[in-house]
Amino acid sequence: MTDLTNYDPNSVGNPENNIFGLPTHEEDSRLVIVPVPWEVTVSYGAGTARAPDAILKASYQVDLYDPEMPDAWKQGFYMRPPDKKVLMKSDYLRKEAELYIDYISRGEDVKANQFMSKTLKEVNEGSAYLNNWIYEQTKVLLDKGKLVGLLGGDHSTPLGFFKAIGEQHGDFGILQIDAHFDLRKAYEGFNYSHASIMYNALAEIPAITILVQAGIRDYGSDEWDYVQNSNGRVVTYLDKDIRRRTYDGDTWKKIAEEIVGHLPQKVFISFDIDGLDRKLCPFTGTPVPGGFELEQVFYLFSKVLQSRKTIVGFDLNEVGIGGDTDWDANVGARALYKLCNLLVTSNTPQPLKGSYHADI
């Protein structure tokens, strides 16, 4: 394991070092972050493919002291460089997908256009390639005993990781923070659309015993029907219902503990940044009014820790790039740091240090 004994966590972040300014290397870090520069199927705003680089830069401004988990960073966090071949493939297929989306948005028949049929086939083949690439990357790390987090990119990216987690850990549940259900089947004709990630996960990975969603506030009737007919495999806390309960006197503490109560012993956290209020992520791909404060989400995560469930992995996706500041990347970097701390702390056999007490 990386020896960080003499590292000063209060020093200026060194841009020559790795994520959060830590002087770490992959082979001796406990947690490895796999960046996935991919955004082929995004249906509105683009930019997420380059989020890993922006988050890395912003991470040097993150203070390492976390009163809940003050020593977690000492176990070593390392982020791999984004794969340039994956980014190039994403850029090429994204341009193709944009032409295709524009074509179908006008009500045109794809089957009547040979070029568009070829484009759809190429995009679907590219997404299948990515799923396998991520599966292979994460499986090797898990087999080495590493803890693994995934950093997108759009929300289509973690499917291969889910598969590797299931093979490594057996049955597990997903806690999804999101503005969207992501339960559409082949949205816009793309088999592995960012809007289809949870549909595909539930269809292809039987190890996922339950999906617990929080913050949902924009969805289609087909997705709502899917949830209602899931026989309890999908449990959803809509943003409007959470708000109305708090307006009627329920505390966020009560609701958060209720959410965690649905989860099994092994939990994967899937964090789409658009689950937050847009003021925290103005350039995310598909922004929706409403959403959580970042501290609300951190509070929910703390309840997962307090329940003594095991966090087996995480993904962080849909962080946008744009504007004159790095605001989205700074929020993303802080969300990433909390997820890293949670993952290593959950897998360290020691008493938890500190906890939240306030009812929000």
Q: What is the pLDDT of residues 312-332, one digit of tens each?
A: 999 999 999 987 779 999 999
> What is the band of 357 on the pLDDT scale with cuts at 50, 70, 90?
very low
Average pLDDT estimate for 146-172: 97
Residue 350: what pLDDT?
65
Q: Is residue 359, in this structure, part of any structural domain at all?
A: no
Encode pLDDT of 223-282 as tens digits: 999 999 999 999 999 999 999 999 999 999 999 999 999 999 999 999 999 999 999 999
Residue 50: what pLDDT?
94
Q: What is the C-alpha separation between 121 and 104, in angstroms, rounded?
A: 15
Residue 293: what pLDDT?
98
Average pLDDT estimate for 112-133: 95
Q: Is residue 287, in this structure, part of any structural domain at all?
A: yes
> What is the band of 53 on the pLDDT scale with cuts at 50, 70, 90?
very high
Mean pLDDT of all residues belonging to the chain: 94
User: Kind of pairing, strands 234-238 and 208-216?
Assistant: parallel
Residue 78: what pLDDT?
98
Tokens for 33? 């972050």
Encode pLDDT of 173-228 as tens digits: 999 999 999 999 999 899 999 999 999 999 999 999 999 999 999 999 999 999 99
Is the pLDDT assigned to residue 299 strictly greater than 90? yes
Q: Is residue 36, in this structure, part of any structural domain at all?
A: yes
Which residues span the domain enclosing 35? 19-346
Q: Is residue 187, in this structure, part of any structural domain at all?
A: yes
Residue 6: what pLDDT?
84
Is the pLDDT assigned to residue 46 strictly greater than 90? no
Q: What is the C-alpha separation between 51 and 303, in angstroms, rounded?
A: 28
Q: Is residue 351, in this structure, part of any structural domain at all?
A: no
Is the pLDDT assigned to residue 56 strictly greater than 70? yes
Q: Is residue 77, in this structure, part of any structural domain at all?
A: yes
Is the pLDDT assigned to residue 302 strictly greater than 80? yes
Number of domains the chain contains: 1
Is the pLDDT assigned to residue 1 strictly greater than 70? no
Q: Is residue 14, in this structure, part of any structural domain at all?
A: no
pTM of the model: 0.94
Is the pLDDT assigned to residue 358 strictly greater than 80? no
Q: Is residue 139, in this structure, part of any structural domain at all?
A: yes
Q: Residue 342: give its domain's CATH number.
A: 3.40.800.10
173 contacts 150 by C-beta, under 8 angstroms:
no
Residue 12: what pLDDT?
82
